[in-house]
Amino acid sequence: MNIVIFGASGATGHELVKQALAQGHNVTAFVRNPSKLQLQHDQLNFIQGNVTDYASIERAIQGQDAVFCALGASSPLRRDPALIKGVGNITVAMKRHRVNRFIYLSFLGVKEGRKGLGFFVKYIVVQLLRNVVADHEDKERIVKNSNLDWTIVRPPRLTNGPHTGGYRSGETIDQRSFILTISRADLADFMLKQLSDTSNVGKAPRVMY
């Protein structure tokens, strides 16, 4: 498939790019600075741009089969309106070019995502990351109102552990440990599986160990 990954130079985006290429996909990496993603591959194309620039987003989306958004906040200490605008730009460009499949990376701590979780996550983590949470809630609202074939993925704390395949996913899976985690490698594995698995279209699954 032809896919574009926004936030490709981040830690999770980098993992998405590597695994997508290994699976044989044609990957367009949308990055502000291509030098941060030190990968070379015959099926990897770079588009340098900023998500607030609609023209560059449109160039990246045209001709794609699916879009991944793994944009990360510049700082957890403040709101990032540029990312909210960027997600809006992505959805507009997708509709204009009739690219329907959208996999958006969010966070377990959003209001809908924290149901049934323990005190530490619901109150301590969410309070510490309140700006990140607020941004994700605004971006999720844009995604849900887009009329695209979206899946919102809500992980907990991310680690640099290996790919294991031993994760759980679902909208209502329970909390089995005090500290919830998933490796970026396993998260990328789950996100890429959404290309062929339509059971999560219009849903926001949690994914964790």
Residue 139, domain CATH: 3.40.50.720
How do residues 18-70 score in pLDDT, each as one tens digit?
999 999 999 999 998 888 888 889 999 999 999 999 999 999 999 999 999 99
Q: Give 195's pLDDT tier (boundaries 50, 70, 90).
A: very high
Q: Look up tokens 């130079």; give the residue.
A: 9
For 25-32, which contacts have Cβ atoms below 8 Å and span 24 or more sequence positions?
25/1, 25/195, 26/1, 26/2, 27/3, 28/2, 28/3, 28/4, 28/60, 28/64, 29/4, 29/5, 30/4, 30/5, 30/6, 30/56, 30/57, 30/60
Domain that holds residue 73: 2-208
CA distance 92 to 49: 17
Q: Look up tokens 């991944």; give the residue.
A: 68
Indicate whether 142 pLDDT > 90.
yes
Indicate whether 146 pLDDT > 70.
yes
What's the pLDDT score for residue 21?
Answer: 98
Domains contained in the chain, number: 1
CA distance 112 to 3: 28
CA distance 208 to 92: 31
What average pLDDT score do residues 154-181 get? 90
Indicate whether 175 pLDDT > 70.
yes
Query: What kind and span of H or E run contains 190?
Result: helix 184-193
Given a contact cutoff of 8 angstroms between Cβ atoms, the answer to whether 202 and 150 are in contact is yes
What's the pLDDT score for residue 121?
Answer: 72
Q: Give 184's pLDDT tier (boundaries 50, 70, 90).
A: very high
CA distance 105 to 141: 13
CA distance 132 to 130: 6
